[in-house]
Structures are given as C-alpha cells and as structure tokens.
Amino acid sequence: MLKQNIEEQLQNQIEKEGSSSQLYLAMACWADVKGFKGAAEFLYAHADEEREHMLKLIKFINERGGHATVPSLPSPGKDYQSLMGVFKSILEHEILVTESINDIISLCLEEKDHTTNNFMQWYIAEQMEEEELARTIIDKLEMIGSDTSSLYLFDKELSGLSIHDPAE
C-alpha cells in the first residue's frame, strides 16, 4: 500500500511527465512547420515516450492501492527561436525532471518504501540517457554552426535517433 505522501509525489511526477509530453509535442510542431522534418519526427516520438512514462506511473499508483488522477495540462506555447534553442530547453527541462525524480527517491528512502524506490530506478536510468542525448545534440549543433548543408544532413540523422528504453 502506498503511503499518502509518496502517492502525492508520484502524482506530481505524473503531471511532469504529461507536461513533458506536451512540451515535446509543441516543439515537434514548430520543427515540422519550419522544415526540420527529422527533428520533428524525433520530437513526435519523444512526446509519445513521455506519455508512456506518465502512464507507467499511473498504473503503478493504481496497482499499489492508490488512485491516480489524470492531470489537466496547460499549453506549452508554440514559439521557438532555433533548433539549438529547442534542444537547450530540452536539456534544462530534463535536468529539472531528474531533480524531481531524485526527490521522490529521497522520500522513498526516508519512508523505507523499497518497492517505489526500485520502480523509480528505471526513471533515473532513462533520465541519464535523455540528458546525455540532449547534450550530444547540442554539441553537434554547436559544431555545425551556420553551415546550412550540414544542418540539413544532421536533421535527417535526427529522425533515426531515439532514447531506447533502459529496460530493453
């Protein structure tokens, strides 16, 4: 049975994963209309992954005697300045998400909730991969600079990139 304070923090995380999904979807729309088709594909796929992360938490709460609430999520807006700006925002966002996952784990340790702690380890592994990938993309975009033909090729490469499930 989940303790109330742990359920509340997990519920909070459901909202964060849902908001991440919305954010990636908005970024995908921007990339799509700006002609960055590869980046758009990457971001659409990532929006789906974040929704899966939300769903995984929802099911965990419900299976452990809690009752998850589906969050209402604000629109993330739609204006971005550049592909570099998009990926810098992604990295900042994911760093915040990692902090919030770490807070849940700290609470699990305090409450001796080893089951939830164990469950949340998957998210830690996922976050490490996501942050690393965002840093790699930013480094590549820095190297490319204003070289439009390299940017065109890199955009194509982006469509094939994804964060694989750490459980796989």
Binding residues for ligand OFO, rule: CB under 6 A, are 17, 20, 50, 53, 94, 97, 123, 126-127, 130
Closer Cβ to ligand OFO, 41 or 50, answer by number: 50
Query: How many residues belong to the chain?
Result: 168
Closer Cβ to ligand OFO, 99 or 147, answer by number: 99
Closer Cβ to ligand OFO, 9 or 20, answer by number: 20
Q: How far is the CB of 150 from ligand OFO (least distance, A)?
A: 27
Q: How far is the CB of 84 from ligand OFO (least distance, A)?
A: 19
Amino acid type, 164:
H
Q: How far is the CB of 89 from ligand OFO (least distance, A)?
A: 13
Closer Cβ to ligand OFO, 41 or 126, answer by number: 126
Contact of 2 with 61, CB cutoff 8 Å: yes
**Residue 11 CA to chain centroid, in angstroms?**
16
Contact of 144 with 49, CB cutoff 8 Å: no
Residue 111's contacts (CB-CB under 8 Å, 6 or more residues apart) are: 3, 5, 6
Q: How far is the CB of 88 from ligand OFO (least distance, A)?
A: 15
- From the CB of residue 69, how many other CB atoms can be counted at a distance below 10 Å? 11
Closer Cβ to ligand OFO, 30 or 123, answer by number: 123
Q: Which residue is nearest to ligand OFO (CB)?
A: 53
What is the DSSP annotation of 49-102? HHHHHHHHHHHHHHHTT----PPP--------S-HHHHHHHHHHHHHHHHHHHH
Q: How far is the CB of 137 from ligand OFO (least distance, A)?
A: 14
Contact of 10 with 67, CB cutoff 8 Å: no
